[in-house]
Every structure is written in C-alpha cells, then in structure tokens.
Structure 1
Amino acid sequence: MASRREQVQEETRLRVLRHFDSDPNLSSREIAKLVGISNGAAYYCINALIDKGLIKLNNFKSSGKKSNYAYLLTPKGFSEKARLTLKFLELKRIEFNELKNEIDQLTSEAGALQQPLGTGKIQ
C-alpha cells in the first residue's frame, strides 16, 4: 500500500498530466495555480515528467516568441495517465464507501438518540 505522500504525489502527477492533455500550452505557473501547488513544485513535477518520458517540451521556433512552448503527452504519458486515473478512481471508491458507512452509522446513532425512553419510536 502506498504511503499518503506517494498518493499525493501520484494525484499531483495525474492532475498535471490531465491539464497538459487538455491544454498543452499551459505554463508551469498556470499549472501550479490549477493544481494548487507552488511554482517550484510545479517546475519540479514537470521536469520529472519530462525526465520519465511522459511529456515532451516542444518549442515553436517559427512563432518568434520565446514563450511559445507546448507540453505534449507522449504515448508513455497517455498510458501513465490512464494507469493513474484507474488507481485514483479505486482509491476514491474506497474512500466513498468508508464515508458512506460512517454516515449510515452516525445516522443510526443519531436516530437512536432521538427516541424517547421506552417508546422505541423516532420522533
């Protein structure tokens, strides 16, 4: 089982991959804001994804603007995005079921507290 830190890192990678998949022209600063991490963390995450071969950085030299870059998911990046999505969904389903069970238990306990002594009926 992955530690909480590893889960957060995987969720961050998934969110970054998803954002670049939908808009490859986002800057690292925009990614940081969208994902809710610092600019430094975004820069580190993007570079790690490039190093792992999950995204590649394309520079459009013909545009004349130095800031025109695009982060494109590689085939390996699409596979990793799919893997992380499935893992994330499974974790969220588990959390949902645990939360639902806790809500059901609390609702039952609250209902028992509302019953007047000796009647067995909920008011």
Structure 2
Amino acid sequence: MTSKRSKLQEDTHFRVLRLLEDNPEMSQRDLAEAVGVSVGGMHYVLSALIEKGLVKLGNFTAAEDKRRYAYKLTLKGIAEKAAMTRQFLKRKMAEHDALKAEIDSLTAELQETQLAKTRDGLKGE
C-alpha cells in the first residue's frame, strides 16, 4: 500500500507537471505558491523531476533576467504525466465513491433519527 507521504509526493509531482506543461516559464516561487509548498520544497521537487528526466531546463528567452529558466516537459515527462493523470483520477474517483457512500449512510442515519423523534413526539401527545 502506498504511504500517505508517497501519495502527497505523487500529487505534488503531478500538479507541478500539469502547471509546467501549460506554463514552462513559471518561477519556482510561482510554482511553490500554486502547489502549496515552500520555495525550498519546490526546488527539491524540480530537482527530482529533472533527475528523473521528466523535466529539462531551458533558457527563458523573453525574460530580462537571463538567469531565469523555463522548465519544459520531456517526452518521458509527458508520458509520465499521462500515467500520473490516470492514477490520480483513479484514486480521486475511489475517494469520491467512499465519501459519497459515507454521506449517503449519514443522511439515512439522520433521516431515521428524525423519523424516530417524530414518532416519539406523536406518542407523547
């Protein structure tokens, strides 16, 4: 079974890949803010994605500061993002189904409680 920390890491990598696919010029600060991690954490995430060969660095030509980089998904990164999308969607659908079942159960329980109170109230009259 995948640990909670591993799922969180997968979700973070997935969200970063999604953001970078559409916005390769995003800064680490912007990515960190969008994903909800620290800038240092984002540096770690980007380094891991680069090391895995999912993202490559390129110069961001439109920037005045030529030290800025663009983070581009590699072909491997695009394929991995597609696989992560399937896994993410599968996990979220399972979570949705479990949550829906719990809501349905609680709703039925509440209705039974209210019905019992109504019956008890009628008996007392």
- Which residue number corresponds to residue 41 of structure 2? 41
CA offset at residue 69 of structure 1? 1.8
SS in structure 2 of the partner of residue 7 of structure 1: helix
- Which residue number corresponds to residue 117 of structure 1? 119
TM-score normalized by structure 1? 0.89
How is 1:1-123 mapped onto 2 (pairs within 5 angstroms)? 1-60=1-60, 65-115=65-115, 116-117=118-119
Structure 1: distance between partners of 2:13 and 2:63? 29
SS in structure 2 of the partner of residue 105 of structure 1: helix
Structure 2: distance between partners of 1:32 and 1:3? 23
CA offset at residue 73 of structure 1? 0.2
- Unmatched tracts of structure 2, length 5 or more: none
Structure 1: distance between partners of 2:89 and 2:67? 35
TM-score normalized by structure 2? 0.88
CA offset at residue 22 of structure 1? 0.6
Which stretch shifts more, 61-70 or 99-108? 61-70
Structure 1 residues 60, 25: CA separation in 2 closer, same or farther (over 3 Å shift)?
closer
Structure 1 residues 61, 98: CA separation in 2 closer, same or farther (over 3 Å shift)?
closer
SS in structure 2 of the partner of residue 72 of structure 1: strand
Task: Supply the AA of the counterpart residue of 1:8.
Answer: L
Structure 1 residues 89, 59: CA separation in 2 closer, same or farther (over 3 Å shift)?
same
SS in structure 2 of the partner of residue 117 of structure 1: helix
Count how many residue pairs are aligned between Structure 1 and Structure 2.
119
Structure 1 residues 24, 98: CA separation in 2 closer, same or farther (over 3 Å shift)?
same
Structure 1 residues 62, 15: CA separation in 2 closer, same or farther (over 3 Å shift)?
closer
Question: How much identity, in percent, do the aligned residues show?
Answer: 45
Task: Supply the AA of the counterpart residue of 1:12.
Answer: T
- Unmatched tracts of structure 1, length 5 or more: none
